[in-house]
Amino acid sequence: MTTRRQFIAGMLAAGLGPVPTWADAGSPAFLSAAKTASGDHVLVGLRPDLSEAFRIPLPTRGHAAAAHPNRPEAVGFARRPGTFALVIDCRSGQVAARMDAPTGRHFYGHGTFSRDGDLLFTTENDYEAARGVIGVWDVTRGYQRIAEFSSGGVGPHEMVLMPDGETLVIANGGIETHPDSGRAKLNIPMMRPNLSYCRLEGTVLDRVEPDSTMRRNSIRHLAVRPDGTVIFGMQWQGEAEQIVPLAGTHRLQEPLRLLEAPDQVWRDLSGYVGSVAASQSGDRVAVTSPRGNRVVEFDADGTFTTVSVHQDVCGLAGTDEGFVATTGNGLITSLTGQTMQQSELAFDNHLLRL
């Protein structure tokens, strides 16, 4: 007679065993890189009530993570100019795979999965040629690199899968860097940021740039509303005293639209937007500035609504009710003020909604 253990072993051998899900990792709603009070780097899962679901050690400082859409697996990217990324089993905390950038490349700290989770796309710098590249990795073959294509610009940073599941939107910041020069910006007088839209195989659908007065506004971070409207956040590389909008919206095949807010609101952001997000319903968008210690919210029409002050705030994610933000001094808060946690962790730049 077949025992229960033999039956389960046979099921697993046949690939018919239970498939692990994010519920097996404590049902996190958000992911963030962080640093502990003792200086260790970790990847943290946060539940909907903002309590910790897990805390997993990282070898170096993380920037952003990409979460597999189905199974409890996250790719942790080192901060630019990192040359490796770790695939982490969020149930066990073990490293499931390591991804190494090809020679002459480094990662930009962001990536995104295809809708079915079979492919991972990464933003990369081909630094000798001063061009942006999108790396394509086959998840089903242990995160093997299988292809690459142009990002459509220089300095690709964040990249998001559009709601159609077939298109990537890429924030090309326009800033040339090289590992030999650290994090120095090498082409500010000639920089040309853009948004590029590509099919998953690399076919370009659209590419749009700010006008000449905004060429030093590096497009860095993205969010997408359910209707396909892209929200982008920027970092100003021009004269510090010049007041410019630091966020905007775009729809495929249309011009860029800059969001409007009082000059004092933009001035208070100190030329720097660190994260952007859309609420789950799409009726609101928000941006953070860790340099300005501000979160600025807009309605669906792009009209400025509110600003709130939070020391060293950067991580931001949309929820059904609005937004959750994280800070470098350990605060995790819904911007409605209804839910709040204080942690000993110093949260890094980004908060990923699962």
pLDDT tens column, 210-243: 999 999 999 999 999 999 999 999 999 999 899 9
At residue 6, does pLDDT exceed 80?
A: no
Please answer whether residues 241 and 254 qualify as being in contact, where contact means their C-beta atoms are separated by less than 8 angstroms.
no
Q: What are 149's two structure tokens?
A: 């294509």
Question: Per-residue pLDDT averaged across 49-55, rounded?
Answer: 94
- Looking at residue 1, what is its pLDDT? 46
At residue 7, does pLDDT exceed 60?
A: no
Under the banding of pLDDT at 50, 70 and 90, the label for residue 3 is: low
Under the banding of pLDDT at 50, 70 and 90, the label for residue 15 is: low
At residue 354, does pLDDT exceed 90?
A: yes
- Looking at residue 11, what is its pLDDT? 45
* Least confident stretch, 74-78, 263-267, 276-280, 310-314: 74-78
- Looking at residue 336, what is its pLDDT? 78
Q: What are 154's two structure tokens?
A: 């220089």
Q: Output the DSSP codes for 79-101.
A: SSS--EEEEEETTT--EEEEEEP
Question: Per-residue pLDDT averaged across 241-267, rounded?
Answer: 96
Helix (H, G, I), strand (E, B) or coil at 208: strand
Q: Which of 194, 200, 254 is nearest to 228 (CA)?
A: 254
Cα–Cα distance for residue pair 292/251, rounded to 1 Å: 28
Global pTM?
Answer: 0.92
**What percent of the chain stands above pLDDT 90?**
81
The top-level CATH class assigned to 20-353 is mainly beta
Cα–Cα distance for residue pair 285/277, rounded to 1 Å: 6
* Least confident stretch, 27-41, 175-189, 213-227: 175-189
Cα separations in angstroms, 50 against 58, 171, 218: 21, 29, 32
* Least confident stretch, 3-17, 227-241, 272-286: 3-17
* Least confident stretch, 18-27, 44-53, 193-202, 267-276: 18-27
Instruction: Give residue-wise pLDDT tens across range 322-332.
Output: 999 999 999 99
Q: What is the DSSP letter of 9?
A: H
Q: What is the DSSP letter of 41?
A: E
* Least confident stretch, 165-174, 184-193, 240-249, 280-289: 184-193
At residue 9, does pLDDT exceed 50?
A: no
Please answer whether residues 19 and 309 qualify as being in contact, where contact means their C-beta atoms are separated by less than 8 angstroms.
no
**What percent of the chain stands above pLDDT 70?**
95
- Looking at residue 14, what is its pLDDT? 47
Please answer whether residues 229 and 248 qualify as being in contact, where contact means their C-beta atoms are separated by less than 8 angstroms.
no
Q: Nearest 5°: phi and psi at 141?
A: -115, 40
- Looking at residue 47, what is its pLDDT? 95
At residue 124, does pLDDT exceed 50?
A: yes
User: Three-state secondary structure along 242-291?
Assistant: CCCCCEEEECCCCCCEECECCHHHHHHCCCECCEEEECCCCCEEEEEECC
Where does the chain have alpha helices with state H? 4-13, 263-268
Mean of all residue pLDDT scores within the chain: 92
Handedness of CA 195, 198, 203, 206 (dihedral sign): negative
Q: What are 38's two structure tokens?
A: 């003792």
Question: Per-residue pLDDT averaged across 90-105, rounded?
Answer: 93
